Chain A
């Protein structure tokens, strides 16, 4: 049921492999990028639910830059940054800029899986809330139309009944005449 797509951006091949293996085994669809530049390029052609990125990578695009690019391109994508214990401040800064969470090295995968579950949960609650609002709108406007339609139908029937009463009670007319006209009203 873990259908989320995840992009791993890390210049350390050992860490990349480790992430890829653990997350794939858990059922996630995983892609890897060798650095920030590679990740940014992949964002041009693909969209991910989650990006897990190292904060420090060689080249012009580090974790913070990647975060910015990702949020600009796909506002819905959630970014988790990986940080060494010594640079928690930078991680907090990343969260101020829109990252959902940070992970400290060495990676504790149990902790990561919990956070991924939380993200999936929030996504599904957001969908539930959107559906609830939309269903309420549609149900309400359709129910209003239905009631209107029933009111008009009921009103028409009442008119018919009133008319039948007038016809049938008209003692000045021949009985057969009254019945014929009444039938006519009913069939109309």
Chain B
């Protein structure tokens, strides 16, 4: 296997940072080698230096996409940390729906939810399942569930709604599994009724968030941990601009906005923390 030199580590980590904001340093040598060698092979690069050069030069961005797919960590599971989903069910959705219904009693109640680094979709589908169970008949509501991620491969899997047996075992009760999924080959596929509630597309959170409108709920969980403090600050300030004034922000259970963004205040309900604009 092709070895990566210290100088190449600098080149490749700065390339990865430029295209994704993912911050890696020399301690991640093993990660770069194990994850990028397939791309090096596929494009017959003579070295990691060569890979960087080709990736930067290529207009179609094919190599860039492959590198991002390879280097991004898509670890996720259904109903991760359970707390936030209890919170959505018992507090956030009921409150938002009441507030929105009071504002425009004639029109369908509008709800917009964004999973800002949705990986392979489990997070957004968990939200969809909560909504389905809470509201039953969804025809009275106008619900937008948007999932975005920087990895094309992750977005493609999210769109397909297909999961292998390892992914499906994590976080789903037997009951939810049989109610919302159908077996397909050795895998499982989310039922159309849930699939059709969600939309997925590619968005790089390091870029300006234009034309997204405002959301009632933003989930931005376990992605900022891959960024520098400076970039985390910028990200959460940008998210503040895409959140409704009475909207809710949910972050990962091991994350904190203390010292990151002055625009949000943490609040607690049950055993979970959520954030709202000051």
Provide the bound-state CA to CA distance between A132 and B74, in Å: 8
Cβ-defined contact, B259 with A132, below 8 A: no
Count how many chain A residues have C-beta atoms less than 8 Å from C-beta atoms of the other chain: 29
Looking at the assembled complex, report how far the CB atom of A100 sits from the nearest CB atom of chain B, in whole angstroms: 17
- Interface-lining segment among B49-57, B159-167, B175-183, B201-209: B159-167
Count how many chain B residues have C-beta atoms less than 8 Å from C-beta atoms of the other chain: 29
Contacts of A153 in B (CB 8 A): 258-259
Cβ-defined contact, B73 with A117, below 8 A: no
Among B44, B164, B185, B256, which residue has its beta carbon within 8 angstroms of that of A124? B164
Cβ-defined contact, A138 with B259, below 8 A: no
Cβ-defined contact, B75 with A45, below 8 A: no
* B102: interface (CB < 8 Å): no
A residues 150-186 in Cβ contact with B at 8 Å? 150, 153
Cβ-defined contact, B73 with A1, below 8 A: no
Provide the bound-state CA to CA distance between A34 and B185, in Å: 32
- Interface-lining segment among B9-17, B34-42, B90-98, B234-242: B34-42
Contacts of B73 in A (CB 8 A): 131, 134-135, 138
Looking at the assembled complex, report how far the CB atom of A45 sits from the nearest CB atom of chain B, in whole angstroms: 6
* B264: interface (CB < 8 Å): no
Cβ-defined contact, B31 with A134, below 8 A: yes
B157 nearest CB neighbor, chain A only: A1
Contacts of B134 in A (CB 8 A): none
* A149: interface (CB < 8 Å): yes
Looking at the assembled complex, report how far the CB atom of A166 sits from the nearest CB atom of chain B, in whole angstroms: 26
B residues 66-100 in Cβ contact with A at 8 Å? 73-75
Contacts of A150 in B (CB 8 A): 256, 258
* A107: interface (CB < 8 Å): no
Among B44, B75, B160, B258, which residue has its beta carbon within 8 angstroms of that of A1? B160
Contacts of A125 in B (CB 8 A): 164, 166
Cβ-defined contact, B254 with A142, below 8 A: yes
- Interface-lining segment among A17-25, A72-80, A87-95: A72-80
Contacts of B42 in A (CB 8 A): 46-47
* B105: interface (CB < 8 Å): no
Additional 17 contacts, C-beta under 8 A, given A1-B160, A121-B164, A153-B258: A1-B162, A46-B42, A46-B44, A47-B38, A76-B37, A121-B165, A125-B164, A128-B166, A130-B35, A131-B73, A131-B74, A132-B75, A136-B75, A138-B73, A138-B226, A143-B254, A149-B256
User: Which A residues fall within an 8 A CB radius of B?
Assistant: 1, 44-47, 73-76, 117-118, 121, 124-125, 128, 130-132, 134-136, 138-139, 142-143, 146, 149-150, 153
